[in-house]
Structure 1
Amino acid sequence: NTAPCDDGNACTTNDRCSGGVCQGGAPANCDDGNPCTNDLCDATSGCLHIFNTAPCDDGNACTTNDTCSGGICQGGAAVDCDDGNPCTDDACDPKVGCVHTNNTALCDDGNACTTLDVCSEGVCTSGAPADCSDDNPCTTDLCDPDSGCVHLYNTASCDDGNACTTNDRCSGGTCQGQATIDCDDGNPCTNDLCDATSGCLHIFNTAPCDDGNACTTGDQCSAGVCQGGAPTNCDDGNPCTNDLCSSATGCLHFFNTAPCDDGNACTTGDQCSAGVCQGGAPTNCDDGNECTDDSCDPATGCTHHVNPYNSCSDGDPCTWGDHCLPDGTCSGTASPWCQ
């Protein structure tokens, strides 16, 4: 018959009689669907499922190098989802694996001349230009995309902050004053100096000065102005000059023809001529007295010396033998014949 039977081999199924003998049917299906077991069949005991360490897939897309252990697929190391792009947030979905979501994080576009770069649609977008100003007028400020801000020394004009220097110019990155400012205001009545903060100062003094008027002396500064002193004394002591003063040239002495005294008592009517006192006519020293010798001394003037030897006339016709007396009078003897 063809009745079902058991051929005694656990590795066959659907055994059936054939020709009076139990014939093994199809091989037993020992596949347990577990990749972590090696499936085999033992004729005595039937299917055997031996644990293995084969590579497997734990069904989690976020693990790698899954390996069988104890008949179970064990997830390996976490998958590395870093795509090297700072503009994506990298995560892992166990079903689909790595997910890269665009973000708006700060980033670096690789250009040192931009700042505050920000991610947009998965790409790093350049931000505002870098401010390379170092607030130093003595550097020219540039930007190199590779190295960033560069400050090159220049020779521009500048201000060193010292009010007492001029023509300041940059040198070696520093503002250098070139020359000292000239604070001379040309006024002798100020002391000129320079203060580094406020610049030139002009302090009033009381120094001697020249007011430009030749007709003043002892001029002295007052409140920043030269004040004329006492009038110039132009008197040259010569009565034969008219003494004046010109503010431009000073004392002037003009000849005059004024009466004067030549210092000689023996001249009269002295008068100035060409700046010199010229003696006039000789002094008349005749005193009308026949009994004196009349002469003139330049120092003292007329002198009258009694001379008893002089002849004289007493003016009386009734006298005779008129002669000079010691007192300088003329005296005669009365004539007996004159009545």
Structure 2
Amino acid sequence: MKKILILLILCVFTVSTMNVLAESECPCYDGDPCTSDICLQQPFSDDICIYPPKCDDGSKCTIDTCNSENGECTNTPINCDDGNICTIDSCNPDTGECVNEQVDCDDENICTIDSCSPNTGNCINEHINCDDENPYTTDSCDLDTGECIYECPHNCDDGDSCTIDTCGDQSCIHSSKCDDSNACTTDSCDSLTGDCSNEIAVFCDDNDFTTFDYCDPVTGECVYDEIGCFSPLDCPAVSGQCKIRTCLNNKCGISNLHGTNCDDGNSCTGPDKCDTGECKGENLPYGTSCGQNHYCLNGMCVEKGDCSDQEDACTQCNFIAMSNQGNPICNCHDLDCDDNNPCTIEICDQDTGCVYEDKCDDGNLATEDSCDPEDGTCSHFFTGNCDDGNSCTTDDWIPQVSPGIGGYCINVDIDCDDNDPCTQNTCDPEIGCVYPPKNCNDGKPYTEDLCDSGTCINELITCDDENPCTEDIWDEENHICRNIAYDCGEGFMCNANTGECEKESNGTEGEIPEFTTIAAVGLLMFAGVFVVLKRKK
């Protein structure tokens, strides 16, 4: 720091001792009219010539030029115009760089959108659009938050997370939150969380490979559009080794292969060939090895000597010894259910085994069935008893014309229609027709649930008792209306016509007070009694 200070002092001393000569006296004249020719004479050394530009005005925001013929200076300001009418253009005197500041259009109103017009340069302060397109709400903007406010003259919050509450003309509108306007789905809502579920209700599959199946969201009906094609590659893929897709006359189809090699995935069949679209193979001989300690039996690969895994009650298995290998394997055959009874039908149930059903049961209540044990001939004798124990069916019968002909019960469902669309027509097998009212309950305590010609109407309960001197409110806790009289204070009463509190009348304005009338009647009665007593004397 000291060294720098000493150098500065020396420089000042040196310059202060120099003599600056006029340009005409200067031996440094360069003949250039655009330079200032300065000659500095030094007392102890040679003179120094300097040629600073003549036209430098010391401003970084101008372009300095000099006329080389006459030495005239031109100091042109830097052009900082960015062509944007919405900016303020200037030059930074320290750096010489252009500064283009955006016009400040902020009106300090959070409810306006502030911008600058690119055509005029004027500020535009446009109010935020808070129109909810509902003519029954008062729309405004909160000057503190900038958020839109939609005020409704009714309190439309029904406390139900599954409804969208909107403001109507005379009442609120509560529409389903989860309606996806798709007739192919079943819409439901979780009343606790308000979460929607739109499950597919209509499944469309005609099992036709050549159609595109879908449900029309407007009608809820299935549509089966034919798939067009130009080549088999345009058609949907097919499953199976023995089927190929085809395209004939621009229509997709399936062709079955026959005789083509295939693999049915069964090591106990072979050789496998395509047969009418299916892969089939002949069962390999008993005992053919199909894996370690496994052998083929009836086209199945089974473990040597293990018959315990046969879960089919209609199959009996036992061990046999193969002569070619001597290894015991399972030999299975169908269970024989023949009971040698011509009056039974023998059936084998895979779960329980043999089942024997009555061969001659004709299912007719009006007949008594019998069977000849010798040849199994059935006989049906008419009894006339057609009561099936069901109050929802008729117990009619067709009488027997001759032995063995006729005599049938007619048990058909009775008609329970009461022609009232506001009832549910149902039948109880114990008591017959019942007509419970149609359930129009929407689960909301503040609505009156009615049925009109089969249509449910859920009207909002109005608590207005048409008395302007009461405050009409809905008691949410007890689900009842309350009409609370206004308290006008001592000496005041509520005018039943206007609903305004007024001073109580004191009887001096043309009306006879009640107590005055009573007193007058009492005096008249007293006078009458007095006259009667006086006459008796």
TM-score normalised by structure 2 residue count: 0.18
Give the structure with higher Rg (CA): 1
TM-score normalised by structure 1 residue count: 0.26
Q: Per chain length, whose mean CA-contact separation is higher, i.e. which structure has more relative contact order (CA < 8 Å, sep 6+)?
A: 1
Q: Report which of the two has the higher share of helix.
A: 2
